[in-house]
């Protein structure tokens, strides 16, 4: 059976999916046709039902829960890994105009929950946000993916770690993203895809260098230290299984019980 698989080009996704999509593990009767998209496009595509299996922002779950179910494996969820709100270094003006990596992202949902007084949040491709804030196009911006590791190399300073604020408020890990499968797929196919992804992640953990070329083919930042930091932050035990705490975290953010 052929399945349309949509993921992001970011190192955490390519690290987790490398073994599955590049023939390092046996996928049995399942074959995966892979496309790579920015997270906002992935969320939009899930809303339109474009993929059988797709990476999504956890925040978009309420809008797609009728047609997609969150898999137990493949989540980007944890502590100390939240989006970062940054501004130009030395800027003391009130923050009114913020750019976010998509209106359907967890980053934007967190802004709404944590900074409800900021009403103007403009979507921008995540890889362009740091430069846009540095130019003064916006008062501040929310960085995700590799951007959160390299903002100090620019004339930017941290305003708030949204993940840290979330943890202080809820005492739960922050559910950033996950892998969702179409509910119309047979149960055995969804369960097998979930198992294969878990096996692929386990392979990645035990063979961490095997995926490096694949990761660099798609990454925004090619520095090995940045890639390693990205993977270490976003791929963890919750990626193998959400567990009870992970499911509580998703419910706390979205109101949807995975």
Catalytic pick from 6, 37, 104, 145?
A: 145
Q: Is there a contact between 33 and 4 (Cβ–Cβ < 8 Å)? A: yes
Active site residue 6: no
- 106 marked as binding residue: yes
Tell me what the mean pLDDT of segment 128-138 comes to.
94
pLDDT at 100: 96
Pick the CATH number of 2-78+174-254 from 3.40.190.10, 3.30.465.10, 3.40.50.740, 3.40.50.2000: 3.40.190.10
Tell me phi and psi for residue 121, to 5 degrees: -120, 115
**Which 3 state secondary structure label does DSSP give 87?**
strand
pLDDT tens digits along 192-236: 999 999 999 999 999 999 999 999 999 877 789 889 988 998 999
- Token pair recorded at residue 134: 């540095």
- Token pair recorded at residue 47: 């809303």
pLDDT at 151: 79
pLDDT tens digits along 102-121: 898 999 999 999 999 998 99
Tell me what the mean pLDDT of segment 171-188 comes to.
97
DSSP string, 45-67: HHHTT--SEEEEEGGGHHHHTTT
pLDDT at 221: 74
Average pLDDT, the chain: 94
Q: One fold for both 2-78+174-254 and 84-170?
A: yes
Q: What residue ranges do the domains of the chain occupy?
A: 2-78+174-254, 84-170
Pick the CATH number of 84-170 from 3.40.1710.10, 3.40.50.720, 3.40.190.10, 2.40.50.140: 3.40.190.10
């Amino acid at each position: 059976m052929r399945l349309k698989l949509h993921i992001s080009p970011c190192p955490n996704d390519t690290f987790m999916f490398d073994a599955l999509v590049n023939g390092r593990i046996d996928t049995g009767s399942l074959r995966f046709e892979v496309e790579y998209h920015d997270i906002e496009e992935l969320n939009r595509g899930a809303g339109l039902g474009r993929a059988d299996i797709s990476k999504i922002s956890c925040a978009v779950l309420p809008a797609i829960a009728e047609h997609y179910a969150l898999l137990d494996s493949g989540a980007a969820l944890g502590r100390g890994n939240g989006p970062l709100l940054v501004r130009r270094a030395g800027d003391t003006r009130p923050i009114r105009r913020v750019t976010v990596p998509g209106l359907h992202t967890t980053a934007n949902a967190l802004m709404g929950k944590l900074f409800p007084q900021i009403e103007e949040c403009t979507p921008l491709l995540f890889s362009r946000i740091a430069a846009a804030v540095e130019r003064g196009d916006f008062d501040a911006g929310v960085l995700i993916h590799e951007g959160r590791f390299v903002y100090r190399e620019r004339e930017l300073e941290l305003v708030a770690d949204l993940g840290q604020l979330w943890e202080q408020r809820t005492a739960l890990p922050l559910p950033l993203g996950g892998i969702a499968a179409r509910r119309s797929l047979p149960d055995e196919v969804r369960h097998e895809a979930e198992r294969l992804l878990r096996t692929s992640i386990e392979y990645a953990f035990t063979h961490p260098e095997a995926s490096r070329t694949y990761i660099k083919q798609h990454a925004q930042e090619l520095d090995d230290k940045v890639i390693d930091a990205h993977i270490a932050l976003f791929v963890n035990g919750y990626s193998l299984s959400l567990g009870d705490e992970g499911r509580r975290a998703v419910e706390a953010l979205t109101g949807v019980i995975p």
